[in-house]
A = this chain, B = another copy of it.
Amino acid sequence: MDDILKLKSQVCFPVYALSREIINRYRPFLDELGITYPQYLVMMVLWENKLQTVNQIGDKLHLDSGTLTPLLKRLEQKGFILRTRKCSDERVVEITVTDAGKALQNDVAGIPGKVVEVMGITSEDLVELKEIVLKILNKAK
């Protein structure tokens, strides 16, 4: 009983620590491209779908406009995306990828593999991690 309590209290910190560890491992590679990890995630979402609204990006990454608006402005300043108001509904801001943004996709291709390698994670561990995290994440919605 005490074990269960102790487990519950210790399982959340490792997830938080691992998340930060992964982001820190991405940093040197992403620094070379001039983007941050959250910006990289936004670009990943946009590569899947060339045109998306701020809300659509937010739904996929679980981020709100308070986070995305300044982040998207930075990506625009760097020339990787364009932000334009939708004609048929001026409330909506549509995000599109520029040629420079598309070019980034090739540059990042090898990064996840390098990060996993540097961290010494095996493919089996990676599969197990992904499965259990997604299982819990899907239940939590």
Q: Which residue numbers of A lie inside 8 Å of B, CB to CB? A: 4-5, 7-23, 25-26, 37, 41, 44, 61-62, 109, 112-113, 115-116, 119-121, 123, 125-130, 132-137, 139-140
Contact = CB atoms under 8 A, between A and B. Distances in A.
A15 B11 contact: no
Contact of A8 (B21, B112, B140): B112
- The residue in A8, A128, A137 that gathers the most chain B C-beta atoms within 10 A of its C-beta is A8
Given A127-B7, A129-B132, A140 B62 contact: no
Given A14-B130, A19-B20, 7 more contacts: A7-B127, A8-B113, A11-B116, A14-B133, A16-B37, A18-B136, A21-B62
B119 A140 contact: yes
